[in-house]
Amino acid sequence: MPRLLVFLLALLAATADRALSNPVVNEAAGRVDRVIVVHEGELLGSESRVIAALQKQLSTMSSRPLLLTEASPAEKAAAMPWLAASLPSIPAAWPEPWKDAQTVVVLQVLAPRGKKPQRTSGGLGGRLVFRAPEKAPVYVERIEGTQGASLDAESLAKWLRGALKIAAVKESR
């Protein structure tokens, strides 16, 4: 019995470790909505906790599968110019992982401030909403500076519901 308990705890820990990198649901055939987290270096524990809390709420937000992942290098390269100070030229193609997506939402977590072990979160930076098939975002929120808004799962979830709703408007009209 204790051995079974240890096994179950180990399984639980392994699942928690992979929570951010794995999709919240299996990719279904057809369109999905994606939430991409862009950040510099490693997320702080407190930041990962907020993202994990947000992930728990995703299943109630969209009629399509909604996937939350950390940005791959290609996704980061596609998103960063829109989050930077000057408006970029529209890319010819989306990153490969976005090609099956109806809506792509990008959340930027700014680089932590200070040095280990006293780093503090840089907070929420910019946000983007892309709507297929348009290559330019329908929503850009860009911050000038190095300190963002406080990361909070509840307000992020509320904002995300709105983002998915406005991105879906064109489809229903």
Q: Which spans of this chain sit near another protein (rule: CB under 8 A)?
A: 127, 131, 134, 136-149, 155, 159, 162-163, 165-167, 169-170, 173
145 token code pair: 């500076």
CA proximity to 121, closest of 49, 44, 50, 48? 44
- Closest separation in Å from C-beta 148 to another protein: 8
Q: Which is nearer to another protein, 19 or 53 (CB)?
A: 53
Assess contact for 24 and 55: CB atoms under 8 A: yes
Choice between 119 and 142, CB closer to another protein:
142
Q: CB nearer to another protein: give 72 or 120.
A: 120
Give me the least distance between CB of 48 and another protein, in Å please: 22
Q: Which residue has the tokens 């649901």?
A: 25
Q: Which of 152, 167, 170, 169 is nearest to 66 (CA)?
A: 167
Phi and psi at 112, nearest 5°, equal -65, 155
Q: How far is the CB of 129 from another protein (least distance, A)?
A: 9
Query: Residue 108's closest CA among 137, 138, 143, 132?
Result: 143
CB nearer to another protein: give 16 or 149: 149
Minimal distance in Å, beta carbon 151 to another protein? 12
